[in-house]
Amino acid sequence: MRKLISQPYTTQQPHSSQHRSDVVGLSLQHESAEKQVSGEALFVDDYPEPQGCLHGALITSTIAKGTIKHLDLSEVQQSPGVIRVITYHDIPGHNEIGTIHKGDPLLCQHEIRYFCQPIAFVIAESHQLACQAAQKALIDYEETSEPVISYQQASQQAHLLPPHQMGVYQGQTFLANPINSVNIGAAYQGQTLLKPATDTVNISGTLAIGGQEHFYLEGQISLAELTEDGGIFIRSSTQHPTEVQNLIAEVLNIPFNHVTVDMRRMGGGFGGKETQAAAWACLASLGAKLTHKAVKFRLPRAIDMSTTGKRHPFFNRYELTTTDDGEILAANIEVNGLCGHSADLSDAIVDRAMFHADNAYFLGQACILGNRLKTDTVSHTAFRGFGGPQGMLVIEKAMQDLAITLQQDPLDLRLKNLYRSGKSVTPYGMEVEQTAELYDVLTRLETSCDYRQRRQEIHTWNQHHPVLKKGLALTPVKFGISFTATHLNQAGALIHIYTDGTVQVSHGGTEMGQGLHTKIQQIVAQTFGIPTDWILVTSTRTDKVPNTSPTAASSGADLNGMAAHNAAITLKERLLDFAVNHNECLSSQSTPEIKDGILYLDTAEIEWATLIQQAYLNRVSLSATGYYSTPKIGYDRSQACGRPFFYFAIGASCSEVMIDTLTGEMTVEQVDILHDVGSSLNPAIDIGQIEGGYIQGLGWLTTEELVWNDRGHLVSHSPMNYKIPSICDYPKQMNIELYDVPNPEHSIYRSKAVGEPPFMHAISTWCAIYDAVAAISEHQFIPDLDTPATGERILMACQQQYQWLTQHAQSTMVDHEADSEG
């Protein structure tokens, strides 16, 4: 969006260097940074193509809902350079690639379920020839009915996904049809919610929340080669190599061990390559199997955006009962996820939205209901936050509305309702243990960003500026860390030490720019006591570390870092035992130690490389695997109660914005973030994740709007009409600080995950926009502002404020005249 006022942008990122010689905790450069700026870093499309490599392109549907009456591919097959055209008939194994629930065919058979659904796969001598040929398909459709796109359509037609397997309780809820919905809170907090009393305040509201395109810089791509044993070796841009491996094997009807997936780095993922990368890898592998040639398949940007899933749009409702001073006594919250044509990961995504509908607040007697609505669009999928942001946003809107209703500062209400001692149990029965730290984060940021004085200054400023209005908001974040599917909370690693002393590490996590390999390198170096330069973290491969979980849920460093640490501990203990037994000079009071690549053995000093050579000559194994599974977690979905998360990452952000009430333009004046990463593994990388997460969240809530027309076609399918934040949208002043308090749980070096939680700091910016709009009526009238808060939506919300002012003035005048006549 265009800036209202042009001025230089400034950023401050203070953080502690921790003043220690440890490798962990240092702000080391990203391990691929130099390669990436020099162009030496290899992504899938950069690897040399094998001789005779073929290329693939999709034939996709041009309708959103209907059936295929006739499919004519003769002109496609006769096109220049075309080697083969593949349909579902050619698949030797499964055509179904749904990972949890069925409903995701690799290639359409007869029924069209969404616009741009893959129907056939063209293999040609070049990418251009394949794409040109794909345009020649002649397809005759029968459109059965109008596609279901919106929440209003989906809810009216009761077009829901199959029933969830969590228990359904009979506490007070919004929907009368609990069969296809899930309700948490009633089991733990009692079956009957608090009934309104005469001295309580009752408010309610709704919020439509838009989806979001992942917009990774590297699109979906795979390069598959046939191996001599009839298997597949594939380079795939994926967050989940094991799932890609398994699905390829099932599609080709071969054993899992005949498929090897290699993934060195992605050019971004954000959840869009967790399940969504598998289809393209399967098609490339199918092409390689059928043609006996290597096949590269990459999606053009417009096709990528049209045929892959997005962040789930939601439509949420809330009802709060509070005391007259704003303490929440009871809450009814309903979250409705628009899931697309199939389930994909929607069960877990809506679950996480429900888990985070409380954000950082004790809701008293709470009932949280989640629905998964089916629409005739692409199947929506994982995206940074995984439903958590959509759940959090509704309670933050409720806080803003409650502040207007009670004429209180929103921050006072937030502080009043934070989890605290005696009121620290979530609606699903998990204890929030860091309540003191949660309060400390908010109050520390309140002081450091000078919230109270700025609130007064903005109030005065707004009184003197009828057109431009400023808004301010300070909001907390409490985000649960772990996969809510408990079995995914495990990881493996493999470490080799070579006889020159260098170390090679393989682990199950994938690098998508977030610095995971760099942190693993630091962890292993710290554990061994050697420099990071001696350690190489290799590409993620399914033949080195099998049965991996996706790199998602902010768990990459937590899981894989601990697995690598455990492997290094095994090797280090083995080496120290050898050193003690091999060298008789150690006294009984001495403890051997490796530091900076030197083994200190009583009075002796042995270089690392020498120790390794000695160990090899004495037949000591220099390889080890490591394994880790997250402790303490366990969640009973049938009872909607338990501990789904190992710990919570917490933080707070304060945003100041300015809007033009006549045009809807908005600028972010200042953002202050205080975020908890525990004992940071790498402060520079963590701050980068916080900054990037905030900006991506800012795009979700302000500029990025997904638009489907009434025929179910995605209109916003390119950078021309889908706008991620640009440099002009960056806050004029941005201050980021790490809350440097060790994780009380036994995580890797007492750190905390940092991938997803910072995304939700952008909620403070949306709340600040909300506050600025409400300033038109001097915070007397609750705004109607859905997300994303584009210029158009801000303008419409402003107009509603002006209309209320007019009606209020007229009503006041009528009342005054009536009083005069009386």
Q: How far apart are alpha carbons 808 and 789 in whole angstroms?
A: 26
* Catalytic-role residue among 143, 228, 756, 817: 756
- What is the total residue count of the chain? 822
Contact, 496 vs 623, CB < 8 A?
yes
**Encoding tokens for residue 490?**
């495990």
CA-based nearest residue to 704, from 210, 37, 341, 134: 210
Apex 93 CA angle, 88 and 98, nearest 5: 80
Q: How far apart are alpha carbons 494 and 524 in whole angstroms?
A: 11
Contact, 278 vs 203, CB < 8 A?
no
Residue 298 forms beta bridges with which residues? 221
In the annotation, is 821 catalytic? Answer: no
Quick one: DSSP state of residue 341? S
**Encoding tokens for residue 560?**
């894989």
Contact, 731 vs 13, CB < 8 A?
no
Q: What is the CA radius of gyration of the chain?
A: 28
- Give the helix, strand, coil percentages of the chain, each rounded to 5: 35, 25, 40
CA-based nearest residue to 126, from 93, 82, 159: 82
Apex 395 CA angle, 389 and 399, nearest 5: 130
Contact, 209 vs 313, CB < 8 A?
yes
Contacting residues for 38 by C-beta, under 8 A, at least 6 apart = none
Contact, 124 vs 57, CB < 8 A?
yes
Pairing between β-strand 641-643 and β-strand 535-537 as defined by DSSP bridges:
unpaired
CA-based nearest residue to 392, from 266, 476, 307, 285: 476
Q: How far apart are alpha carbons 462 and 468 in whole angstroms?
A: 7
**Is residue 56 classed as helix, strand or coil in its secondary structure?**
strand
Dihedral sign from CA coordinates of 170, 176, 177, 183: negative
**Encoding tokens for residue 662?**
């006549």
**Encoding tokens for residue 660?**
């033009």
Neighbours of 595 (CB within 10 A): 11
Contacting residues for 274 by C-beta, under 8 A, at least 6 apart = 238, 239, 240, 345, 381, 382, 550, 552
CA-based nearest residue to 334, from 356, 316, 314: 316
Contact, 675 vs 738, CB < 8 A?
yes
Contact, 624 vs 473, CB < 8 A?
no
Contacting residues for 377 by C-beta, under 8 A, at least 6 apart = 64, 114, 115, 147, 149, 338, 340, 341, 708, 712, 714
CA-based nearest residue to 42, from 186, 237, 327: 237
Secondary structure (H, E, C), 582-602: HCCCCCCCCCCEEECCEEEEC
Contact, 538 vs 479, CB < 8 A?
no
Q: If you write DSSP's letter for every residue of 386-411 in order, what string do you get?
A: TTHHHHHHHHHHHHHHHHHHHT--HH
Question: Which alpha helices (DSSP H) does 336-486 contain, by range?
Answer: 346-355, 388-406, 410-417, 435-448, 451-463
Task: Return phi, psi of residue 693, to 5°.
Answer: -60, -45
Give CA 489 to chain center in angstroms.
16
- Matching residue, tokens 């598998």: 278
List residues with catalytic annotation. 756
